[in-house]
Amino acid sequence: MRKLLPSSVSNAESHPLVLVVDDEPRIIRFVRINLEMEGFRVIEASDGLMALQQVREKMPDIVLLDVMMPEMDGFETLRMIREISSVPVIMLTVRSSEEDKVHGLDLGADDYITKPFSPRELVSRVRAVLRRFQTVAPGESAVLQIDDDLSVDFNTAEVIVQGERVKLRPTEFRLLRHLIENAGWTVPHSTLLSKVWGYEYKDEISYLRLYINYLRKKIEPSPSNPRYILTERGMGYRFVDFRSTKE
C-alpha cells in the first residue's frame, strides 16, 4: 500500500495543519488554543478510528496522539497510521517511563510530550519535529560511497547495504548525515542532539542512544561490533574516517 505523505511540503512554512487526537475535550481545547495562537491550523479526533480517517482525508502535517485512549489506544493507532502514512507523530502521555518512550519510537513515533505540558513546550516540540521533516531532503545529486558494502543516497534518504536499498526515517537520516559530515571526529552527545533534534533536546541522551541503535541495525554488518558508527564513551559518537582510506 502506498503511504500518504504529509502535506508539509506545501503548507508547513505558512500554516501547518495539526491533527490532535485525544479523548479528553479539555486537552484538545488547550492544544487548539495555544497552537492557533501561533499560526497553526488544528483539526481533531476523539479516538483512533477517527484519527485514521482524518489522516487519510486531511493529510495533516503532524499528529499529536494521546497514548491512553479507550478501545484503541495510541500505540495501536500509531501502528495503523504507519501502515498508510509517513506523517510525523508526537505522542502525548502521562507516563514518562523509558519503556513507554522506546515502545512508541519503535512503532514509528517521532517524539514524546509528557502531560502536563506547558504551551511553550508544546509549540517548541511541534516546530522542532516539523523542522526535521522539512529539511530531510538535501540537494546533493551523488550517491556517497563509504566502502564496498555501504553507500548513502542523499536524494532518497536511503542507505545501500551490500547492494540492497534500505529506507531511513527522517531523524535517522539527519543523524547519519551529521555523523558523515564530521567523519573522523568525535561529535559530542549534546551537539548531535542539538543539530539533529533541536536545542530543546540537548539533554535527551536516551533519544540519541536509541537512534544510534536503529542506524547500526540498518547499516552495520554486526550492530554489536560496529564498523562505521563508533562509541566514544562519555563523549559522543564518531563515524569512521572513510575519506582517509581513499587518499
User: Full-prediction pTM beyond 0.95?
Assistant: no
Residue listed under C-alpha cell 544510534: 212
* In a shared domain, residues 208 and 225: yes
* Residues 129, 45 within the same domain: yes
Stated as kind and residue range, the H or E segment containing 41 is strand 41-45
Is residue 91 located within the same domain as residue 203?
no
Same domain, 120 and 213: no
Answer yes or no: do 166 and 236 share one domain. Answer: yes
- What count of Cα atoms within 13 Å lies in the side-chain half-sphere of residue 132? 29
Q: Residue 2 domain-assigned?
A: no
Do 168 and 193 lie in one domain? The reply is yes
Final residue belonging to a domain, choices 104, 134, 164: 134
The pLDDT, as a whole number, for residue 10 is 42
Of 83, 105, 134, which residue sits at a domain end?
134
Is the model's pLDDT at 164 over the cut of 90?
yes
**Could you read off the pLDDT of 172-199 as tens digits, one per residue?**
999 999 999 889 999 999 999 988 888 8
Q: Is the pLDDT of residue 218 over 80?
A: yes
Q: What is the pLDDT of residues 38-49, one digit of tens each?
A: 999 999 999 999
Q: Are residues 18 and 125 in the same domain?
A: yes
Amino acid 11: pLDDT: 47
Structural domain span for residue 48 = 8-134
What DSSP designation does 194 have?
Answer: I
Q: Domains in the chain: how many in total?
A: 2
Please, which residues have CB within 8 angstroms of residue 13's CB and are 6 or more apart in sequence?
134
Q: How many CB atoms lie within 10 A of CB 68?
A: 15
CATH no. for residue 190? Answer: 1.10.10.10
- Among 87, 102, 134, residue at a domain's last position: 134
Q: Using alpha carbons, select from 186, 196, 180 the residue that is nearest to residue 143.
A: 180
Distance between alpha carbon 37 and the CA centroid of its chain, in Å? Answer: 25
In this structure, are 194 and 119 located in the same domain? no
pLDDT digits (tens, 9 = 90+) for 73-107: 999 999 999 988 889 999 998 876 677 778 888 88
Predicted pLDDT at 137? 46
Same domain, residue pair 86 and 192:
no
CB crowding 94-114: b at 16 or more within 10 Å, else e: eeeeeebbbebbebbbbbbbe
The reply to whether 1 falls in a domain is: no
The pLDDT of residue 52 is above 60? yes
Judge if 56 and 80 occupy the same domain.
yes
